[in-house]
Amino acid sequence: MESLLNRFQVICTVFDLPRVVSDLQGSKNLKYVGGDMFEAVPPADVILHKWTLHDWSDEDCVKILKQCKHAITSKGQQKVGKVIIIDIVRGSQNGEESNETQLLWDLEMMVTVTGLERNEMEWAKLFFDAGFISYKIHNHMYSLKSMELINEESASELLQAQTHVWNHIFNFINSMTLKCAVQLGIPDVIQEHGKPMTLSELVSVLPIHPSKAQYVHRLMRILVHSGFFSQQNLNQEAYSLTQSARLLLKDNPWSMRPLLLLELDPVLTKSWDCLSTWFQNDEATAFSVAHENTFWEYAGQDGRLNNLFNEAMASDSILASKLVVSKCKGIFEGVSSLVDVGGGLGTMAKGIAEAFPHMDCTVFDLPHVVSDLQGCKNLKYVGGDMFQAVPPAEAILLKGQKKAGKVIIIDMVRENLNGDEGSIETQLFFDLQMMVEASGVERNEKEWHIHYT
Ligand SMILES: C[S@@+](CC[C@H](N)C(=O)[O-])C[C@H]1O[C@@H](n2cnc3c(N)ncnc32)[C@H](O)[C@@H]1O
């Protein structure tokens, strides 16, 4: 507002809730007024709304705009003042990144207030419902060039950088909307439907409160954007699963659902809130800053987290055991006994025990993990601490362990040359996840070499 004052000789009023403006001091031609915009707006030639209307539902926006209409200057019967709105117009900007920004803001508005980001048609409806007879949309209201602040080239770089920052601020919305879809069973419901499912069909079977039916399309819109559902336009929009959504089905043998529910559980995400504190103290992990226990101690005391973690590990091992048994058969030839150290629920060892019925397989893990598990023919469970002793065997398997006959290690090799952009990012994410939750690290080949020689 003060920048407006310096540029134009106008009398400006900042109007906000009393608690926001009560302590603020005005100046020559600037004053602060406290009040409620649903009751009345101070009269003026121009009423400015920057980033306010997107906080409110359509019904509330119409009420606010009616107050604005009432407040702007009239000449006789005719209103000559105007309302200037600085806000997002969904679909108005080109570019993958700014489309994403608009969708992310939309969800942020849905979750924190009752607002939304509108496209031009939705804005127009508000204006007409509030009694305005015309409107004009100017793109690039942020045009810094026209304000002679910076040149055109750096203005567009600045806008791109701003979009990039926004998308990083809101990246958690991508994770959290996916978690919500999985918790509501959306992938499973669409799969069971057997053909593309319309929005009304989806809404009718989801376990949601009737008052929330109107919001489902916004959840689906971001998940279509992030590649989990594809959208066809039959008579109305209809959704199908992409390959990624199939990996989140409950009964997919390769399901990544348990891992998603683990990693996005508040117990784990709380550690991320403690990351900067951890950098400033001598705790071993951000997890222990958050929970005053190591991850392993916490899982030993909290049955819910223990189950969540063991199931997440087991789901990853189904695919890994199939791959190892089929592609790396030679490694196990001639081996008569094997211990899977930190073997969790034993999914990996079960796969190996089935493929090699003459091999004695032991799953070795912490007592709270294996105490209730039953072995079978050539598979047994042993509880203990690998820092004290590991049961003897011809082959020791370490899968998903960050510490180290034959030792077989199934783990990530960072910076391996087969990586595309996506998998390099995955490796970096995993590395940070290990640092935050368990004082581990993802290693490149050189680091593995140093570790084991
Ligand atoms: C990252 S998980 C890997 C589980 C399994 N190998 C897999 O890949 O699915 C690490 C495992 O090590 C176990 N673990 C942690 N500390 C241990 C210890 N001191 N002794 C034995 N097992 C331990 C955990 O309970 C957990 O099952």
* Of 87, 111, 99, 315, the residue nearest 212 (C-alpha): 111
Q: What residue numbers bound the domain in which 378 lies?
A: 266-411
Q: Are residues 8 and 61 in the same domain?
A: yes
The whole-angstrom distance between residue 155's C-alpha and the CA centroid of its chain comes to: 29
- Full-model pTM: 0.83
Mean pLDDT of 239-264: 95
pLDDT more than 90, % of the chain: 67
Q: CB–CB of 202/190 below 8 Å?
A: yes
Q: State in Å: Cα 342 to ligand 1 middle.
A: 3
- Nearest C-alpha to atom 5 of ligand 1 is from which residue? 343
Whole-angstrom distance between the N-terminal and C-terminal Cα of the chain?
Answer: 65
- Domain assignment present for residue 103? The answer is no
347 CA closest ligand 1 atom index:
9
Do 209 and 247 belong together in one domain?
yes
Q: Is residue 374 part of a domain?
A: yes
Same domain, 208 and 343: no
* 191 assigned to some structural domain: yes
Name the band, by pLDDT with cuts 50, 70 and 90, for residue 429. Answer: confident
**Position in ligand 1 atom list of the atom nearest CA 299:** 25
What CATH number corresponds to the domain at position 339? 3.40.50.150
Q: Are residues 368 and 295 in the same domain?
A: yes
Exposed/middle/buried for residue 148 (C-beta within 10 Å: 0-12, 13-18, 19+): exposed
List the alpha helices (DSSP H) in 130-185: 152-169, 171-184
| pLDDT(144) > 70 | no
Task: For ligand 1, say whether the CB of 351 is within 6 Å of any of its atoms.
Answer: no
pLDDT of residue 225: 93
What's the total number of domains in the chain? 5
- Tokens encoding 100: 């994403």
Torsion, Cα 127 131 132 137, to 10 degrees, reads 10
Rounded (5°) CA angle 88-93-98: 80
Q: Are residues 57 and 75 in the same domain?
A: yes
Both 38 and 90 in one domain: the answer is yes
Please report the pLDDT score of residue 423 as a whole number. 80
3-state secondary structure 262-306: HHCCHHHHHHHHCHHHHHHCCCCCHHHHHHCCCHHHHHHHCHHHH
In the chain, % of residues over pLDDT 70: 92
Helical spans, DSSP H, in 194-265: 199-205, 216-225, 243-246, 257-263
395 contact partners, CB below 8 Å, separation of at least 6: 332, 335, 337, 338, 339, 405, 406, 407, 408
Q: How far is the CA of 310 from the centre of ligand 1 (A)?
A: 9
Q: Confirm or reject: Cβ of 411 under 6 Å from ligand 1.
A: no
Query: What is the rounded average pLDDT of the residues 234-244?
Result: 89
Which residue is associated with the tokens 């990586």?
419
Residue labelled with tokens 């998940």: 223
CA distance 243 to 237: 19
Look at 224 and 400; give whichever has higher pLDDT: 224
Regarding the beta carbon of 440 and ligand 1, being less than 6 Å apart is answered: no
Q: What does the pLDDT read at residue 283? A: 93
Q: What is the DSSP pairing of strand 237-241 with strand 229-233?
A: antiparallel
Q: Would you say the CB of residue 316 lies under 6 angstroms from ligand 1? A: yes
Residue 237 lies in a domain: yes
Distance CA 419, CA 438 (A): 25
Q: Do 372 and 310 share a structural domain?
A: yes
> What is the Å distance from ligand 1's center to 413 Cα?
19
Domain match, 379 and 299 both? yes
- State if residue 319 touches ligand 1 by the CB under 6 angstroms criterion: no
For residue 22, being part of any structural domain is answered with: yes
Q: In this predicted structure, which of 24-28, 46-50, 178-182, 431-435 has the lowest mean pLDDT?
A: 431-435
In a domain, 291, yes or no: yes
Residue 259 lies in a domain: no
Residue with token string 């009304």: 200
Q: Which conformational region is residue 131 in: left (phi greater than 0), alpha (psi within -120 to 50 degrees), or beta?
A: left
Q: What is the number of the ligand 1 atom nearest to the C-alpha of 316?
A: 9
70 close to 38: Cβ distance less than 8 angstroms: no
- Residue 420: predicted pLDDT: 74
pLDDT of residue 140: 59
State pLDDT tens for residues 91-134. 876 677 788 999 999 999 999 999 999 999 999 999 999 999 99
Q: Give the mean pLDDT of 314-318.
A: 87
Q: Are residues 227 and 199 in the same domain?
A: yes
Domain endpoint, select from 207, 225, 252 = 252
Probe ligand 1: pick from 254, 295, 296, max atoms within 8 Å of CB? 296
Is the CB of 311 inside a 6 Å radius of any atom of ligand 1? Answer: no
Q: How many residues does the chain have?
A: 453
Nearest to 262 by CA among 320, 219, 304: 304
pLDDT given at position 325 = 86
Confidence grade of residue 404 (pLDDT, cut at 50, 70, 90): very low
Ligand 1 pocket, residue 350 CB under 6 Å? no
For ligand 1, atom 7: residue with the closest CA: 313
Are 44 and 129 found together in one domain? Answer: yes
Nearest atom of ligand 1 to the alpha carbon of 314: 9
Q: What's the whole-number mean pLDDT along residues 419-437?
A: 83
Element of type H or E holding 370: helix 367-370
pLDDT of residue 147: 47
Q: Dihedral, CA atoms, 245, 249, 252, 254, nearest 10 degrees?
A: 60
Q: Based on the domain organization, do 206 and 282 belong to the same domain?
A: no
Q: Measuring from atom 24 of ligand 1, which residue has the nearest CA?
A: 342
C-alpha 256 – ligand 1 centre gap (Å): 19
Q: Is residue 261 part of a domain?
A: no
At 330, the pLDDT band (50, 70, 90 cuts) reads confident
Structure confidence at residue 334 as a pLDDT band (50, 70, 90): confident
**Best mutation site among 350, 368, 401, 430 for ligand 1 pocket (most ligand atoms within 8 Å of CB):** 401
What's the pLDDT score for residue 4? 61
Q: Is the CB of 386 under 6 A from ligand 1?
A: yes
- 351 and 299 within one domain: yes
Count Cβ atoms within 10 A of the Cβ of residue 357 and give its class: 0-12 exposed, 13-18 middle, 19 or more buried: exposed
